[in-house]
């Protein structure tokens, strides 16, 4: 058993780090899954396929959200354990890493509530998109949906459409907006990814590029696709295009 920090098994740490970054890549699959569930659910509404189906779509969506929560908590548990082990430098004992990770995961799980899941941004947006499309198609909207909540959502989207279509990095209208879960700002995916990667290569933290934001450690894993804003931008562009055509 190693007795001093020189013998610290960095290869082991490197392996765990690699495994972790593979795990973080899984998030992209979950996001892609959510996207296709959303698209399918919207298609079902538009084609007016049996309304029983979109209930299932919502269940599927919450399964994705739950999966994402589990993935993030697992990553957090492993990361904190790893940092703990690095700090202790394996002094006199080799800690049982599996137990340490499981303890942390359990603590995180115990802090979960069903309510968190229902209030998850992505689920709320999913339900709102379905409601909007149903209204556009002249279909009845589930009366249990809270109108006041919807009002807030719509206000939020109006504000967004006026101010947040522009990426704070490129100063251009975004094509693929991603939202930072921590500070709530949105950026062009490609642009923020480049900033984070180049900072991390130099072992620096990436500050949020939005003027006035105090968030100083933007991580790739904190970024989620902003589906609603993406659609708003798409609509905005389509409208601008058709106006251009009319003018020429
Ligand atoms: Zn920010």
How would residue 102 be classed by pLDDT, with cut points 50, 70 and 90? confident
In this predicted structure, the answer to whether residue 221 has a pLDDT above a threshold of 70 is yes
Which segments of 47-146 does DSSP mark as H helices, in order? Answer: 52-88, 97-110, 114-118, 121-136
d(CA 247, ligand 1 centre) in Å: 38
User: DSSP assignment of 178-220, as one string?
Assistant: EEETTT--EEEHHHHHHHHHHHHHTT-PPPP-STT-------G
Assigned token pair, 174 = 């975004």
d(CA 166, ligand 1 centre) in Å: 14
Interface confidence (ipTM) of the complex: 0.99
Q: How remote is the C-alpha of 248 from its chain's centroid?
A: 41
CB of 126 closer than 8 Å to CB of 58 = yes
d(CA 181, ligand 1 centre) in Å: 9
Lowest mean pLDDT across 134-143, 153-162, 171-180, 198-207: 153-162
Sequence-ordered list of residues with C-beta below 8 angstroms from that of 161, at least 6 positions apart, any chain: 232, 236
CB of 78 closer than 8 Å to CB of 16 = yes
Higher per-residue pLDDT: 12 or 94: 12
d(CA 161, ligand 1 centre) in Å: 18
pLDDT computed for residue 198 by the predictor: 93
Give the whole-angstrom CA distance, residue 138 versus residue 107: 46
d(CA 206, ligand 1 centre) in Å: 11
d(CA 115, ligand 1 centre) in Å: 26
| pLDDT per residue as tens digits for the range 78-93 | 888 877 777 665 544 5
């Amino acid at each position: 058993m190693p007795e001093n920090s020189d013998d610290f098994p960095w290869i082991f740490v490197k392996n765990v780090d690699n495994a972790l970054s593979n795990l973080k890549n899984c998030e992209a699959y979950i996001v892609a899954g959510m996207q296709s569930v959303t698209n399918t659910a919207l298609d079902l509404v538009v084609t007016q396929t049996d309304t029983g189906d979109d209930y299932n779509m919502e269940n599927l969506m919450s399964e994705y959200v739950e999966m994402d929560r589990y993935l993030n908590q697992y990553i957090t548990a492993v990361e904190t354990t790893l940092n703990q082990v690095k700090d202790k430098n394996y002094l006199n004992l080799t800690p049982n890493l599996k137990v340490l990770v499981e303890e942390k995961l359990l603590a995180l799980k115990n802090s979960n509530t069903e309510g968190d899941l229902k209030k998850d941004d992505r689920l709320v947006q999913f339900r709102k998109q379905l409601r909007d499309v149903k209204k556009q198609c002249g279909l009845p909207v589930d009366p249990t949906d809270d109108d006041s909540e919807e009002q807030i959502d719509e206000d939020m989207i109006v504000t967004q459409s006026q101010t947040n279509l522009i990426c704070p990095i490129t100063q251009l209208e975004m094509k693929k907006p991603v939202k930072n879960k921590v500070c709530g700002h949105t950026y062009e995916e490609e642009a923020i990814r480049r900033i984070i990667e180049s900072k991390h290569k130099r072992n620096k933290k990436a500050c949020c590029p939005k003027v006035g934001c105090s968030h100083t450690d933007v991580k790739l894993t904190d970024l989620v696709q902003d589906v609603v804003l993406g659609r708003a931008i798409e609509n905005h562009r389509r409208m601008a295009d058709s106006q251009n055509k009319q003018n020429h």
